[in-house]
């Protein structure tokens, strides 16, 4: 009997190891952005009865990324079906947070921005367990969802942008190198019509970008685009109705901005 028990124990251990290997392969493929292969690997694991709910979560997230790439509605439907099929109570560890983020992403891609923002907000409490950059990505998703909601909900536009400003102020006090907050603070201030605050926040963000994880390369490019296409033209329009005055003011502001960039290149 003891011998039989040992054999059964070893067989169970081998089956569990195979199960984890299949899920690990699917996750590896997902992280390598090989989404079709990740879907196939996770589907094979699920069909074999291995970690059915975790496999379904990987399938859902891979479908969401495929939808971003292709805009094929079949991928959005595939993500929804996979999320509906899994039992969240059987997910373990960080998979609960992944599930919440996946629901938020599905709502966002389905253009249900207010509801998506609520789920991204809920995930922010535990998202750091997914990795050092996960919180910043979730914060960016949240702000983008609130921004989209503000664009289609003019009655609450100012209140929504104030939420972004207040959240980003709080985040920068906590994490000065936050890329998401470094961009969204000036962007939301500008959307509120406070172009002076937007100007100063963009300059501060450009300098503070040096402590971002990637040394601020992406943030600086985004801030430069925000400055040149929105903040500077809007500040220049305050010079008066004369187009020549507006152009002179825009030229002066552009030169000041270029000087700051040269000084801190």
Domain ranges of the chain: 17-92
Please check the confidence at residue 258 and state whether its pLDDT lies above 80.
yes
Q: String of b and e for 35-62 (b: at least 16 CB within 10 Å)? A: bebbbebbbebbeeebbbbbbbbbbbbb
Q: pLDDT digits over 24-66, tens only?
A: 999 999 999 999 999 999 999 998 887 899 999 999 999 999 9
Q: pLDDT digits over 87-124, tens only?
A: 999 998 899 999 999 999 999 999 999 999 999 999 99
- Scan for tokens 């409490």, then name that residue: 125
Q: What would the two tokens of residue 217 be? A: 């390369």
Mean pLDDT of the chain, nearest integer: 92
- Quick one: pLDDT at residue 131? 85
> How far is it, in rounded angstroms, from Cα 34 to Cα 248?
51
Q: pLDDT digits over 207-224, tens only?
A: 999 998 778 899 999 999
Q: pLDDT digits over 4-33, tens only?
A: 544 444 444 444 455 558 899 999 999 999
pTM given for the model: 0.88
- Give the distance, in angstroms, between the CA of residue 38 and the centroid of all CA atoms in the same chain: 21
């Amino acid at each position: 009997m003891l011998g039989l028990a040992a054999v059964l124990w070893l067989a169970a251990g081998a089956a569990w190891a195979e199960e984890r290997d299949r899920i690990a392969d699917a996750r590896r493929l997902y992280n390598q952005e090989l989404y079709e292969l990740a879907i196939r690997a996770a589907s094979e694991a699920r069909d074999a009865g291995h970690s059915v709910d975790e496999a379904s979560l990987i399938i859902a997230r891979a479908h969401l990324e495929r939808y971003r790439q292709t805009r094929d509605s079949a991928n959005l439907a595939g993500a929804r079906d996979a999320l509906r099929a899994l039992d969240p109570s059987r997910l373990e560890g960080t998979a609960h947070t992944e599930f919440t983020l996946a629901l938020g992403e599905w709502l966002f891609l389905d253009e249900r921005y207010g509801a998506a923002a609520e789920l991204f907000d809920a995930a922010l409490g535990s998202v750091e367990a997914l990795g050092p950059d996960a919180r910043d990505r979730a914060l960016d998703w949240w702000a983008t969802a609130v921004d989209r909601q503000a664009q289609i909900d003019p009655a609450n536009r100012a209140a929504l942008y104030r939420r972004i400003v207040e959240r980003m102020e709080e985040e920068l006090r906590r994490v000065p190198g936050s890329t998401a907050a470094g961009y969204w603070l000036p962007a939301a201030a500008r959307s509120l019509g406070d172009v002076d605050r937007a100007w100063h926040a963009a300059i501060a963000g450009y300098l503070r970008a040096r402590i971002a994880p990637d040394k601020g390369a992406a943030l600086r490019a985004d801030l430069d685009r925000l400055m040149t296409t929105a903040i500077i033209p809007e500040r220049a329009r305050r010079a008066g109705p004369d187009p020549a005055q507006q152009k002179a003011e825009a030229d002066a502001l552009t030169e000041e901005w270029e000087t700051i960039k040269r000084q801190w290149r």
